[in-house]
Structure 1
Amino acid sequence: MKITAIRCQRLRLKQEVASQPSWLSESVIANPMSIYPRYAARRSSWTAPFGGLAVIIETDEGIEGLATADGGEAVQIIIEQHFARLLVGEDPTDIERLWDQMFRASTPYGRKGLSMFAISAVDCALWDIFGKALKQPVYRLLGGATKEDMPVYETTNDRVDWDNHEFFGVKLAMPYGPADGREGLLKNRDLVKECRQLIGDKRDIMLDCYMAWDVEYTIRMIDLVEPYAVRWIEEALPPDNIQGYEKLARYTGPVALATGEHEYSRWGHRDLLATGAISVFQPDINWVGGISETRKICAMASAWGLIVVPHAGGLQAAGLHLMKSQVNCPFAEWVRTWNRDAGRPAAAILGVPDPEHGRIRPSEEAGLGISLNQDVLDLT
């Protein structure tokens, strides 16, 4: 089998089925730009206007691989104008070699960011082809099932969602950071306190800080939330603040630190591991380098007794297959990104299951089990 073509399709929904803006982008949530008042109110005021892509790899045996990518036109250019030269004519099951060639070829402009978005999508599409060729779901090619399904926690600041006891935990998006002073500290604490009072003692609470805090602020927050049995504090620091994590390694007490969402490749996670601070790795399979790279990160973490909880893994077909195949991926994150009042929007990609009774599992279809929902896509 040989690759004959690789192409990208923009995932724009038709206007009549497009979703409303998400609470994640439109509500007050601490982020790296929160120190600037003009951009503090919502993420959509500063985030890049990139859309999603479908990446389709065609073969001479009629099998197509499908995956999704962030990064819009910029990633499309990398895939179609650069990586296609390395892929067309190659055996799509030589995944490890093709990954290495894409990474080496993009080193002059890559190693992190958009180039890794592109590698991630191609890698996942290659695994999709491999599974379809062997008529097996991808998780079986990764070593088989280590569990039937995964329990789920939900990331949400919606009080109505907190009351869903099917999910074993709640992750709160922290609204405030250092620019908000002590008042912000106390408001963050009160949010955690309110959540604990509502959900009781038997469920977990985690805190997502989205790279917004610094070392001093994180230490103060650890002290404030310790009475509420917080399981972990996530992405407290920008990913390049390695020395900051080394300092936090000496002060976390009973609250674990988690990070990795905005880190790239096994080498970036190696550097985080070396700080001694991190208890939970959270690579995003669509950004870190795809299934192949996330599997290496899981192996590295296992040698140190760490768990891996991929960022938004419960929303990603590739994430579900990876987690089912790895012993140290015990549970999944799930996020309701749509406006509850408007109802769930149409999906551009079909085949990614939702949790059932607080648990989730990948499709049993061959490959990743996903397809394009052409009926709702704007192809103009």
Structure 2
Amino acid sequence: MKITRVRCKSLIRKVENASAPSWLSETVIANPMSMYPKYHARRSSWNAPFPSTAVLIDTDEGIQGLGISYGGDSIRSIVEEHFSRLLIGEDPFDIERLWDQMNKSSLPYGRKGLSSFALSAVDSALWDIVGKALNQPVYRLLGGATKPDMPVYQTTNDRTDWQDESFFGVKLAMPYGPSDGREGLLKNRDLVKECREKIGEKREIMLDCYMAWDVEYTFRMLDALEPYGVRWVEEVLAPDNIHGYEKLARYSGPIAIATGEHEYLRWGHRDLLATGAISILQPDVDWVGGITEARRINALASAWGITVCPHAGGLQAPALHLIKSQVNSPFVEWVRTWDRDKGKPDPVVIGIPDPVNGRIAPSDEPGLGIRLNEDILA
């Protein structure tokens, strides 16, 4: 089998039943730009306007692979003008070599961000081809199932969502950071307190801080939060703040430190693990270099005895296949990004399941089990 064509398609929704903008982008949530009043109110005021992007890889045997990432025309240039030169005419089964060649050839301009998004989508498309060619779901190619399905926690600040007891936990997006002073700190604490009172003692609470805090503020928040049984705080610092994480390793309380969403490739995650602060590692499979690199990161974390919970894993087919195949990935994050009052819009990518009774599993169809909804994209 040989690769014959590599192309991208931007997944831009232009239909009447499209969902309203997500609460994640349109409500007050602490972020690295919160210190600037102009950008404090919502992430959409400063986020890059990059749509999700599909990478489609065709072969001479009529099998097409599909991978999804982020970056729009920015990754289109990388995939179609650069990586395609390394892929066309090659055997899609040679994933390790092709991954290494794409990574090394993009070093002059890459290593993190857009180049890793592009690499992730191509890598997932290659795994999709191999699974289809062998008539096996990708998780079986990664070592098989380590569990039949996975328990799910829900990331949401919507009080109505908190009532769904099928999810084993709730992750809250923290609204405030250091620029909001002590008043913001107390509002964060009160949100966590309210959640604990509503969901009771048996379910978990986790907190997403989206790189918005600093070391001093994190210590103050940890002290304020200890009475409420918080399982972990996530991405309190930017991933490059290695010395900051080394300082957080001094914390000896019951709340775990999690991070990894905005780190790329195994070397960055190695450096985070080496700080001694991290208990939960959270690579994003669609950003970190695809299934191939995420599997290496899982193996690296296992040597440290660290749990891996991929960022937004319940929304990504590659992540679901990886999680099902990995012993040290016991559960899944899921986010309801649409407006509940409008109902869930028709999906752009078909085949990614929603949780059922608080549990989720990848498709058992060959490959990743996904396809594009051409009616929506037309």
- What TM-score do you get using the length of structure 2 for normalisation? 0.99
Aligned AA (2:269):
H
The alignment partner of 2:170 has SS state of strand
Aligned AA (1:188):
N
Corresponding position of 1:29? 29
The answer to whether the Cα contact below 8 Å between 1:231 and 1:256 also exists between their aligned partners in 2 is yes
The answer to whether the Cα contact below 8 Å between 1:12 and 1:377 also exists between their aligned partners in 2 is yes
CA–CA distance in structure 2, aligned partners of residues 284 and 370 of structure 1? 18
The answer to whether the Cα contact below 8 Å between 1:17 and 1:376 also exists between their aligned partners in 2 is no
1:52-97 C-alpha deviation (Å, 9 max, x unpaired): 1111000000000001120010001100000000000000010000
The alignment partner of 1:376 has SS state of helix
CA–CA distance in structure 1, aligned partners of residues 126 and 119 of structure 2? 11
Q: Are residues 1:368 and 2:368 paired?
A: yes
Aligned AA (2:74):
A
The alignment partner of 1:210 has SS state of coil
The alignment partner of 2:202 has SS state of coil
- In the TM superposition, what is the alpha-carbon distance from 1:18 to its structure 2 partner? 2.1
CA–CA distance in structure 2, aligned partners of residues 311 and 73 of structure 1? 24
CA–CA distance in structure 2, aligned partners of residues 184 and 299 of structure 1? 39
CA–CA distance in structure 1, aligned partners of residues 251 and 351 of structure 2? 43
CA–CA distance in structure 2, aligned partners of residues 61 and 87 of structure 1? 15
Q: Are residues 1:208 and 2:169 paired?
A: no
The alignment partner of 1:136 has SS state of coil
Corresponding position of 1:140? 140
CA–CA distance in structure 2, aligned partners of residues 144 and 48 of structure 1? 37
1:86-122 C-alpha deviation (Å, 9 max, x unpaired): 0000000100000000000000000000000000000
Corresponding position of 1:77? 77
Corresponding position of 2:17? 17
Aligned AA (1:278):
I
Corresponding position of 1:296? 296
Corresponding position of 1:359? 359
- In the TM superposition, what is the alpha-carbon distance from 1:16 to its structure 2 partner? 1.5
Within 5 A, what are the aligned runs for 1:49-198? Answer: 49-198=49-198
Within 5 A, what are the aligned runs for 1:183-262? Answer: 183-262=183-262
- In the TM superposition, what is the alpha-carbon distance from 1:252 to its structure 2 partner? 4.5
1:36-60 C-alpha deviation (Å, 9 max, x unpaired): 0000000000000011111100000
The alignment partner of 2:54 has SS state of strand
The answer to whether the Cα contact below 8 Å between 1:235 and 1:260 also exists between their aligned partners in 2 is yes
Aligned AA (1:47):
N
- In the TM superposition, what is the alpha-carbon distance from 1:341 to its structure 2 partner? 1.0
The answer to whether the Cα contact below 8 Å between 1:162 and 1:170 also exists between their aligned partners in 2 is yes
1:2-22 C-alpha deviation (Å, 9 max, x unpaired): 000001111112332322100
The alignment partner of 1:352 has SS state of coil
CA–CA distance in structure 2, aligned partners of residues 342 and 86 of structure 1? 44
The alignment partner of 1:285 has SS state of coil
CA–CA distance in structure 2, aligned partners of residues 69 and 272 of structure 1? 23
- RMSD over aligned CA atoms reads 0.6
Aligned AA (2:279):
S
Aligned AA (1:13):
R
CA–CA distance in structure 2, aligned partners of residues 336 and 158 of structure 1? 10
Corresponding position of 1:317? 317
CA–CA distance in structure 1, aligned partners of residues 281 and 69 of structure 2? 21
Aligned AA (2:368):
L
Q: Which ranges of structure 1 fall in alignment gaps of 5 or more residues?
A: none
The alignment partner of 1:17 has SS state of coil
Aligned length: 378
- What TM-score do you get using the length of structure 1 for normalisation? 0.99
Q: Aligned residues: percent identity?
A: 73
The answer to whether the Cα contact below 8 Å between 1:92 and 1:126 also exists between their aligned partners in 2 is yes
Q: Which consecutive segments of 4 or more residues in structure 1 shift more than 3 A?
A: none
1:231-272 C-alpha deviation (Å, 9 max, x unpaired): 000000011100000000001511100000000000000000
CA–CA distance in structure 1, aligned partners of residues 342 and 23 of structure 2? 12
1:323-363 C-alpha deviation (Å, 9 max, x unpaired): 00000000000000001111111110000000000000000
1:18-43 C-alpha deviation (Å, 9 max, x unpaired): 22100000000000000000000000
The answer to whether the Cα contact below 8 Å between 2:257 and 2:277 also exists between their aligned partners in 1 is yes
Segment drifting more, 41-50 vs 340-349? 340-349
CA–CA distance in structure 2, aligned partners of residues 39 and 87 of structure 1? 41
CA–CA distance in structure 1, aligned partners of residues 367 and 70 of structure 2? 21
